[in-house]
Structure 1
Amino acid sequence: MIQQLSLTARLTIFFTCLSCLVLLSLGWLIGASIETHFEEQDHHALSGKLELAQHIIERVNTEQDVAKLADQLGDALVGHHDLAITILDNRQQVLLASEAIEFPAEQIQYPQQIARKTSLTGTQKSSPALFSWEAKGEHYRGLIAVFATKNPSYGPITVAIATDIAHHQAFMASFRKTLWLFVFVAALLTSVLAWLAARRGLRPLNLMRERAASITASKLDHRLSLDAVPPELAELATSLNQMLARLEEAFQRLSDFSSDLAHELRTPISNLMTQTQVSLSQARNANSYREILESNAEEYSRLASMIADMLLLAKAENGLSLVKVEPVDLTREVKDLFEFYEALAEEKQIRLELIQSSDTTYIIPADRLMLRRALSNILSNALRYTAHGARIQVQLTQLQQHCEIKICNPGPSIPSQHLPRLFERFYRADHARQHSDGEGFGLGLAIVKAIVDGHRGQITVNSENELTCFSILLPDR
C-alpha cells in the first residue's frame, strides 16, 4: 500500500510519525520525572513524620507514657489534613487511627517480622520503603516502621503513616490530557509543515519531470539543466542527460539507416519497374523478354543479397548467434581466400602476401564461415581500392591471449573524420561514389564488425600516408 503513495505523501507520513514519536517519548520522560518527583516528595514528608514519631516513642517507659502517646502524636499531626496515621502497640491493638484507612495487612506484617528477627533492640534499622495502594476508590502512599520504646519489656510499637495522592493523580491526569492534545495539534501542524517542506524540497524533481515530459522524438537535443538541481539529484540529472544523448544518437542512426535503406532500395526497384513498364509498352520477341528477365533477375539477386545482409545485422543487434564454433587455422583460411581472389588479383596485377612467423600456429575458436565472410569483405574492399601493380599484405601476429589479423593495402587515405563511422550501415566515406561496378551496398564493414563483436573481438582501422590497415583482435581461447 505504501508503494502506491507519492514521495511527498511518504515524507509527510514519515516526518509526522517521527514527530509524534519524539513528542510522546518526551512526554513519557517528563511524566516519569514528575511522578518520581512526587514519590520523592511524599517519601521525604512521610519520613519526617516517622522521625518525629520515633523521637516520641523512644521516650515511652511506662503504661502512662503509652496512654499519652496517642495525644502527643495527634498533636504533632495537627494541620496536616492529607496525612493519616495508625499506631499499633506490641499486642497489635490500635493506639491511634487519625483516619479510617485500611493499611495493607502484608505491609504491616512485614516490618513486624523484620523487627522480631532483630534480636538486639527489635528496632528496624533500614529505611522503610515507600509503597502505594488503593482503598475505597482512593489512592495512598505510605510508610510503615517499627520502633522500640525506652522500656524493652514493653515491646516495639508499629507506626503506619500515609498521604492521599489524589491531588498528584489529578495533576498527572491533567498533564496527560494536555500532552495528548498537544501531540494531536503538533501532529497536524507537523503534517502541514512536512507536506510544505516535501513539496518545496521535491520541486527540483518535479521540474526535472516536467522537463523530461516535454522531450519528444523531435526534441531529443534538449537536456536537463544542472544549475537548479541540488547535489543529491545532480547525478540523476547527469545520467538522464547521458541517456538522452544515447537516445538521440541511436535515433539519428535509425533515421539515417531508414533514409539510406530507402535510397538503396529505390534504385533497384525503380529499375525493375521501368524495365517492366517498357517491356509491357509494346509486343516483343522471346529474346527481348529473356534479356529483360535476366536483367530483372540480377536486380532481384542484389535485393536478396541486401536483405540477407540486413537480416544478419539485425541479428547482430541482439547478439550474433555463432552457429558452429570450432578450432580455425587462420593461416589456412587466409591462403584459401588468396586462392579465391587469385584471378581478380592477377587481372589487376595485385600481389597478395601473407606475413607470419613460421614456427607459430594461429588457431582460434571461431565460426569458420562467419570469420571467412568477415575477412573476405575486407580483402574484397582492399582489392577494389588498390591500384594496379601494388601489393596487399595480410599479417598474422600471436599476442597474449589474442591473435591479430592485419590487412593493409595501399591506396587513397580515408579522411580521419570518416574513420569513426566507417563501420556504420550504408555509410560511405565518398557519398558521391555509387556502386557502379555492381558490388557493395555499404553493409560490408558493418557485417565485419558484427562478426568480430560476435567472436568477442575488436576491429580498428588506420589510414594515413596512402596506406589503409584493418586490424582484427580475436581471443585464442
Structure 2
Amino acid sequence: MIALLQKLSLTARLSLLFTTLSCAVLLALGWFIGASIEKHFEEQDHHALSGKLELAQHIIERVNTAQDVANLSDQLSDALVGHHDLAIIVQDTKGKVLLNSSQIQFPETYLHPRTNQPQHEIFSWTQDGQTYRGLVSIYATKNPELPSITVGIATDIAHHLDFMRNFMRSLWLFVFVAALFTGALSWVAASRGLRPLRAMRDRASSVTANKLDQRLSLEAVPPELADLAHSLNQMLERLEEAFQRLSDFSSDLAHELRTPISNLMTQTQVSLSQARDASSYREILESNAEEYSRLARMIADMLFLAKAENGLSLVNREQVNLMQEVQNLFEFYEALAEEKQIRLRLQCQDDQAASTKSTSEQFTLSGDRLMLRRALSNILSNALRHTAKGQEITVYIEADPNFLTMRICNPGPSIPEQHIHRLFERFYRADHARQHADGEGSGLGLAIVQAIVLGHQGTISVRSQDDLTCFTLQLPRTTIA
C-alpha cells in the first residue's frame, strides 16, 4: 500500500487525502445526526409512555377493594381508547394478569424487576420481527392490604425504524456522491494549486549550459514557494558564475599553454630549417628547456590547486615561526630588491624582537612550513614585481592567543574595486598595467596562496586604495588536521 502511494503524483495524493478527510467528516456527521434522531425518538416515546403510566398510576392509586381491582382492567382499557399503537399489560405482584390488550409478550425481566433496577427505564425488544419500546412500573393501591399492581406499556416503533433506514440510506448515498464530488474538486484545486510548481519545472527544464541566465519570477509564485524559488535562483546564479569561471579558466589555460608551446614549435622549426653548429643547437635547447620548465611549473601548480579543491591535507605539520620565515624570505629576495632599489621592512608587535631575530614562540603557529613559505613567497614576489624603484615593502605581524595576523603592503597603482574579489581566481590578472613585462608568473600564484591559507583554516583578504595594496592573512595558531 505504501509503495503504491509513493508512485502516485502529488496531485493524486492531495486529492486522495482531501477526499478521505471529507468522507470521514461526513460519516462522523451522519453518525452524529443519526444518533441524535434516534435519541429524539427515544425521548419522544419515553414522554408518551410516561404520560400513559401516570394515567394508570392515577387510576390504581384509587383502588381500595377487590371489586375495584376487578374493574381496573375496564377503566384502563377505556383510558387507552384511540391509542391503537399502544399495548398495556397489568398484573399483580403474584403474577396474575389483570389486563393484556394485545399479544405482545413483555420481557419477564422487566415485568419482575430487580430491587436495584431503576423505575421508568425505557427498554426495547423484538418479537416476531417487530420491535417495541416500553416502560414498566409498580404502583401501590389505596388499600395497603391489596397487592401492588405492575403496569407495562409499550408501543410499536416500526415507523421510527423505517424512517431511520430511509434516512441512513439517503445519508450514505449523499456521502458517496459528496465523496465523488469532493474528489473531483480536490483534483481541480490541487492541480491549480500546483500550477506554480509546474511553471517552475518548465522554467528549470529550459535551463541549459548555454542558457544559465534564466530565473524564476518571485512575483508569480505563492508565498509558500517564494523561498524555494529564491533558493533555485541563487543556485542558478552560482551555477552561472561557476560555468563562467570554468569557461574563463579554459580560455586562460589555453592562452597560457599556447605561448610556451608556440615558442617551442617556432624555435624547433627555425632550427630545423637549416644546418647549424653545435653551439647554436645548444642555445636552442637551453631556450626550450626554459619553456619546458615554465610548463612544468604551471602543470604542478594546477595539480596542487586540483588537490586543494578536494581539501588540502597538511601532511607535515610542525611549529612554524612566521617572523623567522619572513626574515628568511627577505634574505632570499635581497639581491632582487637591491637590484630594483626596493627596501624590505618587517614590523612586529615587538620591534626589538624583530631586530634581534628572536625565535620566541610569540609568532609561532602549527602548520606546514613549506606550504606557508610558498604562500608568503608568492605574495612577496608579486609585491616586488609591482613596486616601483625606491619604494618600500612592509610586512606587519600581529599576535594574539588564538591567531597570527600578517599584512604585506606594497605601494603601486591601486587595483580597481571591481577586480578585488577576482584576484584569487586562476589565471586572473586585474589589468595589463599590473602584468610584468617579462612575462613572469602564470596567474596561479594568488590562487595557490588562497588554497594554502584555507587549508590552514585561515582567511585572506586584499585592500587596495590610495596607491597602496595590502594582503591580510589571518591564521589560527592551532590548525585542525
Query: Taking structure 2 as the reference length, what is the TM-score of the superposition?
Result: 0.91
* Per-residue CA distance 1:201-227 (angstroms, 9 max, x = gap): 222222122112112222211211122
Rounded Cα–Cα distance in structure 2 between residues aligned with 1:195 and 1:136 = 50
Rounded Cα–Cα distance in structure 1 between residues aligned with 2:306 and 2:183 = 55
> Which of the residues 183, 188, 203 maps onto 2:180?
188
Name the structure 1 match of 2:108: 105
**What one-letter code is carried by the residue in structure 2 that aligns with 1:16?**
T
Rounded Cα–Cα distance in structure 2 between residues aligned with 1:58 and 1:416 = 113
Conservation of the 8 A alpha-carbon contact between 1:272 and 1:296? yes
Rounded Cα–Cα distance in structure 2 between residues aligned with 1:294 and 1:159 = 133
* 1:85 and 2:77 correspond: no
Q: CA deviation at 1:313?
A: 1.4
**Stretch of structure 1 that moved more, 427-436 or 264-273:** 427-436
Conservation of the 8 A alpha-carbon contact between 2:119 and 2:136? no
Name the structure 2 match of 1:58: 61
CA RMSD in angstroms, aligned pairs only: 2.1
Q: CA deviation at 1:335?
A: 1.2
Rounded Cα–Cα distance in structure 2 between residues aligned with 1:165 and 1:37 = 13
* 1:137 and 2:129 correspond: yes
Name the structure 1 match of 2:459: 458
Rounded Cα–Cα distance in structure 1 between residues aligned with 2:134 and 2:268 = 120
Name the structure 2 match of 1:276: 268
Rounded Cα–Cα distance in structure 2 between residues aligned with 1:114 and 1:9 = 59
Name the structure 2 match of 1:21: 24
Rounded Cα–Cα distance in structure 1 between residues aligned with 2:123 and 2:253 = 97
* Per-residue CA distance 1:234-270 (angstroms, 9 max, x = gap): 2222221121111111111111001101111111222
**What one-letter code is carried by the residue in structure 1 that aligns with 2:425?**
E
In the alignment, structure 1 segments of 5+ residues that lack a partner are 116-125
Q: CA deviation at 1:435?
A: 6.0
Q: CA deviation at 1:350?
A: 2.3
Name the structure 1 match of 2:475: 474
Name the structure 1 match of 2:325: 333
Q: 1:260 to 1:372 in 2, by over 3 A?
A: same
* Per-residue CA distance 1:281-338 (angstroms, 9 max, x = gap): 4555554444433333222221121111111212222222222222211111111111
* 1:163 and 2:155 correspond: yes
Rounded Cα–Cα distance in structure 1 between residues aligned with 2:315 and 2:203 = 46
> Which of the residues 138, 141, 146 maps onto 2:138?
146
Conservation of the 8 A alpha-carbon contact between 1:435 and 1:441? no
Name the structure 1 match of 2:300: 308
Q: CA deviation at 1:83?
A: 1.4
Q: 1:367 to 1:347 in 2, by over 3 A?
A: same
* Per-residue CA distance 1:375-419 (angstroms, 9 max, x = gap): 000011112222233322111112463211111122333233322
Rounded Cα–Cα distance in structure 2 between residues aligned with 1:280 and 1:135 = 125
Find the residue that maps to 1:49 and give its secondary structure: helix
Find the residue that maps to 1:13 and give its secondary structure: helix
Conservation of the 8 A alpha-carbon contact between 2:429 and 2:435? no
> Which of the residues 8, 11, 21 maps onto 2:11?
8
Q: 1:114 to 1:184 in 2, by over 3 A?
A: closer
Name the structure 2 match of 1:265: 257
Q: 1:135 to 1:280 in 2, by over 3 A?
A: farther
Q: 1:230 to 1:400 in 2, by over 3 A?
A: farther
Name the structure 2 match of 1:121: none
* Per-residue CA distance 1:90-116 (angstroms, 9 max, x = gap): 3201111122222222222225x469x
**What one-letter code is carried by the residue in structure 1 that aligns with 2:106?**
F
* Per-residue CA distance 1:30-66 (angstroms, 9 max, x = gap): 1111011000001001101111111111122222222
Name the structure 1 match of 2:200: 208
Name the structure 1 match of 2:406: 405
Rounded Cα–Cα distance in structure 2 between residues aligned with 1:114 and 1:156 = 17
Conservation of the 8 A alpha-carbon contact between 1:90 and 1:154? no
